[in-house]
Amino acid sequence: MRDGLAAAVKRVPGVTELLDSAPARRLRAASRAARPLHGAIGFVVREQLREQATPRACGYRLRTSGLKVFLRHRTRDLYIFKEVFGDGDGRGGYEPPAALTATLERAHGLSVLDLGGNIGLFGVFVMGRWPRARLHSFEPDPMNLQVLQRVISANGLQERWTVTAAAVAARDGTLEFVSGLFGESQIAGLAGVANRGPAPAALTDGRTISVAAVDLFAQDHDVELIKMDIEGGEWPILTDPRLADLRARAIVLEWHAAACPEPDARGAALGRLAAAGYTGLHESEDFGYRGLVWAWREPVPG
Total-model pTM: 0.85
How far is residue 74's CA from residue 240's CA, in Å, rounded to a whole number? 37
pLDDT tens track for 85-132: 987 666 788 999 998 998 898 887 899 999 999 999 999 999 999 999
Element (H, E) at 70: strand 68-72
Give the chain's length.
302
pLDDT at position 291, please?
94
Provide the mean pLDDT of the chain: 84
Residue 12 has pLDDT above 70, yes or no: no
State how far the Cα of 104 lies from the Cα of 102, in Å rounded to an integer: 5
pLDDT band, very low/low/confident/very high, at 157 (cuts 50, 70, 90): very high
Count the neighbouring beta carbons within 10 Å of the beta carbon of residue 45: 13
b or e along 261-295 (b: 16 or more beta carbons within 10 Å of the residue's beta carbon)?
eeeebbebbbebbeebebebeeebeeeebbbbbbb
Give the pLDDT mean for 182-197.
56
The domains found in the chain, sorted by start residue, are: 73-296 (3.40.50.150)
Tens of pLDDT, residues 254-276? 999 988 999 999 999 999 999 99
Q: In degrees, to the nearest 5, what angle opens at C-alpha 270 toward C-alphas 181 and 233?
A: 25
Calculate the CA 140 to chain-centre distance.
15
> Quick one: average pLDDT of 288-295?
94
